Structure formats: structure tokens, C-alpha cells
């Protein structure tokens, strides 16, 4: 066979192979794209309370894709549970895969949809759990998008003491401005309000008047989701609570 024809055949096979393994699926967390295989660390706000976390699943291909979600509990705090919801159903913690759903070409299955994805986590004690989720093309498992969540409950970072006897946010959920009421009985002059997202990234640090009782925060630029607001004295969290932005 002439060399030119051999080269053309090899080139065609390479192109065909690359097309065959093109990834159709990507993930978005709180409005931010997630790299395939990324790990996201999340703060768990309290013990023995179910917390929900959400993902958007995107089909970036030009064809409809039938998708199934898989759960892998890589490392778990003793007694902690994880359950997933996808394709219109929620499953018990013992279930490791979901039913399927068709995601149309060039479209997103948002977490807010009745068929979207979220998972619930609950832990009875401090520690760290690692859970991996894989969203795979039902016709080709190699065509998948995965993410690992590092779920941390650390009692040294979420502490409630007598120095911060009251804190509440209203309205909660909020979409524009939120007012945070607080009461501080300590003697530090370095008291701050700190707002973080689910990744632990600090979005706001605001010095508080130790003799005051409320502060207003503009959340109109925040993506919809779950946030945490804390009172800190001398850099130490005294009390942390959850804020929902819609």
C-alpha cells in the first residue's frame, strides 16, 4: 500500500478514536465549572443533622446522552451516611447507583429541577468523609464526569460559646439584603462577621461593634446556594450558622 494511503488511514483512525472518547459530560457546583476528578472540601455545619449539597450536570455534546449517577464511599466517619437523589428519585444510603435520565444535547440538568442531582450527608461525630460521585453515559461508561467531596466536621472551627449568645439572619433564605442580629458578651475589641461559601472561601469580613446588635449584608451578587456566617473574636470562630441565598 502506498505510504500516502497508509498515512491517511492512520490519521483517520486517530481522528475516529479521539471522537469515540470525547467527553460529553461536565459538572457545575454553585455556578462554578468542576474539573473531571476534582475534589471539593466542604464544611459540615453540625452533627446529627442532614445537610444537602447540589450539582448541575451538563451535556456538552451534540447528541442526547442517557446518564446514570454512581456513589462511591471512599472513606467514611463511623456512623455517617450519604444518600443520593437523581433522575426524579431519592435513594437510601445503602444504594450506590441511580436510575437513568436523558440529558438533551448542549443542555444542563440543573439541580433545581425535580430530576436534578443532590446528595444528603449526616454524621454523628467529628471527622472527615470522602465520597465520590460519577455521572456516566449509560452507553459508554468511559464517557463520564466525576467529583469527590471531602466532608469535614471540625468542632474546633464551629464552636458556640457564651461570648456569642445570639445570632440569627433574616430573611433566610435571602436574595438581596440580609440582616444579621448578634449579641456578644466577651471583652475583645476585634470582633468580626465572616461569611464563607461551601468551599470555605471567605467572601466577606466585616468588623463588628461589640456593643451593637445588628448588621446588614448585601448578598445580591452571591450565587444561589448555601453559605455560612460566623462571629469571630481575635480570629477564633465563636458561633457559625447557615445562610441560604436564593
* 82 lies in some domain: yes
The neighbouring-strand residues paired with 90 are: 85
- Closest to 66 measured CA to CA, from 132, 146, 144, 131: 144
Sign of CA dihedral 46, 48, 50, 54: positive
Tell me: the pLDDT tens digits for 190-229?
889 999 887 778 899 999 886 778 899 999 999 998 888 8
The tally of domains found in the chain comes to 2
**CATH number (domain holding residue 136):** 2.60.40.10
Tell me, yes or no, whether 133 and 181 share the same domain: no
Q: Which of 12-26, 73-87, 166-180 has the lowest mean pLDDT?
A: 12-26
Q: Which pLDDT score is estimated for 88?
A: 94
Give the span between the Cα atoms of 243 and 228, in whole angstroms: 6
Range of the structural domain that residue 228 is part of:
164-245
Task: Give yes or no: residues 189 and 225 share one domain.
Answer: yes
38 and 143: one domain?
Answer: yes
122, 234: one domain: no
- What CA–CA distances, in Å, run from 185 to 29, 163, 180, 231, 233? 38, 5, 16, 12, 11
Residue 203 maps to a domain: yes
Q: Are residues 216 and 113 in the same domain?
A: no
Boundary of a domain, candidates 95, 120, 153:
153
Amino acid at each position: 500500500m502506498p505510504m500516502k494511503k497508509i498515512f491517511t488511514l492512520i490519521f483517520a483512525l486517530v481522528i475516529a478514536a479521539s471522537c469515540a472518547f470525547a467527553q460529553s459530560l461536565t459538572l457545575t457546583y454553585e455556578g462554578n465549572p468542576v474539573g473531571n476528578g476534582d475534589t471539593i472540601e466542604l464544611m459540615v455545619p453540625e452533627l446529627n443533622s442532614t445537610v444537602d449539597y447540589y450539582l448541575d450536570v451538563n451535556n456538552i455534546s451534540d447528541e442526547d446522552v442517557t446518564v446514570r449517577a454512581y456513589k462511591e464511599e471512599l472513606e467514611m466517619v463511623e456512623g455517617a451516611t450519604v444518600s443520593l437523589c437523581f433522575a426524579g428519585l431519592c435513594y437510601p444510603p445503602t444504594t450506590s447507583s441511580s436510575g437513568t435520565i436523558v440529558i438533551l444535547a448542549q443542555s444542563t440538568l440543573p439541580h433545581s429541577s425535580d430530576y436534578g442531582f443532590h446528595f444528603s450527608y449526616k454524621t454523628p461525630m467529628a471527622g472527615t468523609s470522602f465520597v465520590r460521585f460519577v455521572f456516566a453515559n449509560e452507553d459508554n461508561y468511559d464517557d463520564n464526569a466525576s467529583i469527590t467531596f471531602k466532608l469535614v466536621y471540625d468542632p474546633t472551627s464551629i464552636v458556640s460559646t457564651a461570648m456569642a449568645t445570639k445570632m440569627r439572619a433574616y430573611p433566610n433564605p435571602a436574595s438581596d439584603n440580609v440582616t444579621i442580629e448578634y449579641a456578644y458578651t466577651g471583652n475583645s475589641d476585634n470582633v468580626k462577621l465572616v461569611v464563607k461559601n461551601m468551599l470555605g472561601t471567605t467572601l466577606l469580613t466585616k468588623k463588628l461593634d461589640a456593643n451593637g446588635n445588628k448588621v446588614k449584608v448585601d448578598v445580591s451578587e452571591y450565587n444561589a446556594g448555601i453559605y455560612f456566617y460566623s462571629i469571630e473574636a481575635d480570629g477564633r470562630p465563636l458561633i457559625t450558622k447557615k445562610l441560604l441565598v436564593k
